[in-house]
Structure formats: C-alpha cells, structure tokens
Structure 1
C-alpha cells in the first residue's frame, strides 16, 4: 500500500504552548483515515500544518513522495535548505481542506463558492463539468445554485464546503469536524457522501472528528490524539473495541 501522506516527527507551537509534540503518522492512498481526540487536543492544528498554515518547529511532511513542509532548522546538518510551500502550492499538489466551521463565503452564491474552489483550475470547460458533477452529487446545491450561501442550512453549507473542496480535483481531502453542530440524520448523510467520495471518486480521505464512533466506523485506520501527541493507532475496527477508547471517547 502506497503512503500518500507522511507526517514525520512534527512539532508546532503557539508561543510557549506546544500544540503538537513529535507527531508521526501516515495516510495510505485510497484509504479513509480518521483522527479522534478531545476538543483542543491539536487535531485542527495538524490539518493546518499539512496545508502550510502553521510553521513546524521540527519534523517534515511529505505528500506523494515529495516533501511539502519542513521545519526551518530541519535538514540543516545535511546542508538542505528550509522548504515550506505556501498553502496555494500545497493545494496545487492535490490536497484540499474542508475547515472546521465550514468557512463559506456567506454573501456569495453557491455557484460562486464552487468557483472559488476551482481557483487553481485554468480550464473553463473542466470547471463547468465539475460544477455539474457537484450538483448531481449534492442535488440540493443544484436546486439552490443561485442562492446566497447564508440562506442555506448548516447541513447544506457543509455539503457546499465539501463540494467546494472537490472542485480542485484533489487526491487527498482533509475534513475538519464535518459533523460539527449538525443533527444526527444530517451527519449520517454527510458521512454517506464521504464514503462515496472515497469509493467512487477514488479520493483519499483524512477525517478529523470529535464523534469518535462515527469516525471509526467510517474509516479503515485510526489515530487517537491527546494533548498534542498520538497516543494510539490501529485499525479502526480494533480501536472501536479498545477499552481505553471506549471509556474515553465512546461513553462506555
């Protein structure tokens, strides 16, 4: 199995606060991998680091065999120069992020939001084709393509945020709390769409989610983060039966 994303011993700080501490993990191509943990454990910081939005204190991040992020002092002993790609260049490599809280452009229409997701695509015909594909995949978006995004429900905005991320044609999609603040039936629908994105569109998925049971059921491999560290990793089915996970995250 090919490793598409490799995170090697990364640390990230906010001032004197260590948000991530020597985190190492990987995501294999074609998989759905989840990261669970309490609020404030460092999950969102990890996704931001992958996208080049947070500088690394140590370690490196590799995507499809190419290093995309490295700490400023990493590699100095080997004479390597610091390599930190900007977020747009990382996105151009084939990674899209659906941020926590959706971060939609509320005063733009659904269609304009999707156009923003395709800002790196230069082929107008391809953009139009992808938009129609998104409207087919999320029919409610097709019905409301001319509406301002602020008029959509929370679930509809989440669907649009996912569709926007898919407009660039990513190989890897990062999902930060896609079920946050949504009703259970809406969450189930969102997770069904995530499975289809992975299975039908062959997009690798890295899912960060507080709903541990839903995340582990939706994924093949899982990691548990506590206080900025990875404390457990295993097959998701095994983590579902892990006594520590059941007690801390499944309420059992």
Structure 2
C-alpha cells in the first residue's frame, strides 16, 4: 500500500494553445485531509478533472495507491468509470445534483457500480444517518432543496460508492458561513469516522487550511507553495494574498 493515496507527477493539461496545468506535482497522504487553494481560474478544477480522467494529460502521470490511472500515454490511462470503481469519488463544483430526481434517486445514482440491492439500502441508511435532513427530504426533488442541502446530497451521492478518497471541488461555494461550517464539520467527520481520505479544492483558504493537515497553493497552473496546513496559515504570502491580512 502506498503512503500517498494519490501521487501526481509533472502533469500538464492544455486547452487548445493555453497551458492550464504546467507541470503539477502533488501527493495526497492516505487518511488525511489535504487541500489545494488558489484564486478562481488558477486551474484547481482542471486538476480534479484530470485525476478522474475527464481531462487528458499532455505530460506526466497520476497514480492511485501505487497504480497508474492516468498518463500522457493514452493507452496507459483508465476510463473515468474504471477510476471511480477503484475508489475515487468526485463532488463537482456547483453540486450538479440531478434536479428532476428525488433525493433518494440521486443517492441511488451514486451507487451505479453496486449490484447488491441490500448493500445499496445499507449505504442509503448510512447517508441518512450522516445527513438527517436528507432523510426528511428523501422523496422531494433535488431542485427543491436549499444550496446547503444540495451540497450535502452531492457529498452523500459520492459516498454511496464507498470511495477511499473523496475529491471535493469548492464545497463552500455560494453558501452562507454557518452552512459552510456545517459542511466542513461533515467533511471532517467523514474523514475521521469513515476513514475516507479527502482532497479538498477551495477558495475559502482559511476554512480549507484549518480543516487540513497538508496544503498546496496554486497560481496560474503552477504549485507555488506546499507545506503543512498550519504553517501555510502563518505564511506571510498566504496571509496577504488569501486571508485578507
């Protein structure tokens, strides 16, 4: 078993003539919460898409638990469904729940790789225990939920497949401060109780670093800082650029 659940080495992603990721290298330690902070447009979402095979690599490679899952050599890259089946769950930016489906149906969509109906029922019960408000709303369409409830549903949907690592793209986006705190409390609980490794992408630098053990800072497709999260909170460059100090 690899010490780092995800190891990203010198990856490059292009959008046409634009270099979106410029030789990124990142390690996500197993069992921890690791965050990536940076301004809007820095390339954070592109990185998450690359991990799950939604953006092809021009250079570099990505390993999951010591096994290659993405490479600039296309024949060595796995399809997105294969990557998910190995234990990677993604909660995309903007939540992207299935608006016309009920809460329960959304959760079931997250279990598309599970063939055992009893196991699916068991996972739904676990999600309703983790998110009691979703059980109350289980027969409501996702479109009727508040932003915070939709974020909980998106996280629950990703957890239905029992991932070993959860990728979260801007979980606090557009939510009120109290709701953001609640979401981050849930993320910490999932990491602590479910032993799920978390890789968190977030513009709210203070919240992300406070919740994490390790952090990276991205600027225009490049990693400019990497350190223990507590040290990044004290870093003058981070404090000035991202913490408003």
Q: TM-score per shorter chain, which class?
A: over 0.9
Q: 1:5-39 deviations in whole A, cap 9, x for unaligned? A: 00000000000000000000101110100000000
Q: 2:166 aligns with which of 170, 173, 177?
A: 173
| Alpha-carbon distance in 2 for matches of 1:226, 1:242 | 16
| Alpha-carbon distance in 1 for matches of 2:225, 2:51 | 20
| Alpha-carbon distance in 1 for matches of 2:117, 2:222 | 43
| Alpha-carbon distance in 2 for matches of 1:134, 1:204 | 17
| Alpha-carbon distance in 2 for matches of 1:174, 1:110 | 21
1:28 is aligned to 2:14: no
1:197 is aligned to 2:211: no
| Alpha-carbon distance in 1 for matches of 2:99, 2:75 | 37
In the other structure, the counterpart of 1:150 is 143
Offset of 1:84 from its aligned partner? Answer: 1.4
In the other structure, the counterpart of 2:122 is 129
Q: 1:204-230 deviations in whole A, cap 9, x for unaligned? A: 000000000000000000000000000
Structure 1 runs of 4+ aligned residues shifted over 3 Å read none
| Alpha-carbon distance in 2 for matches of 1:203, 1:133 | 14
Backbone CA RMSD of aligned residues: 0.8
Offset of 1:122 from its aligned partner? Answer: 1.0
Q: 1:51-79 deviations in whole A, cap 9, x for unaligned? A: 0000000000000110000002xxxxxxx
In the other structure, the counterpart of 2:9 is 8
Offset of 1:236 from its aligned partner? Answer: 0.3
In the other structure, the counterpart of 1:87 is 80
In the other structure, the counterpart of 2:59 is 58
In the other structure, the counterpart of 1:243 is 236
What TM-score comes out, normalization by structure 2 length?
A: 0.99
Offset of 1:2 from its aligned partner? Answer: 1.0
Unaligned 5+ residue runs, structure 2? none
Q: How does 1:198-237 map to 2 (within 5 A)?
A: 198-237=191-230
Offset of 1:82 from its aligned partner? Answer: 2.9
Q: 2:97 aligns with which of 94, 104, 110?
A: 104
| Alpha-carbon distance in 2 for matches of 1:110, 1:102 | 13
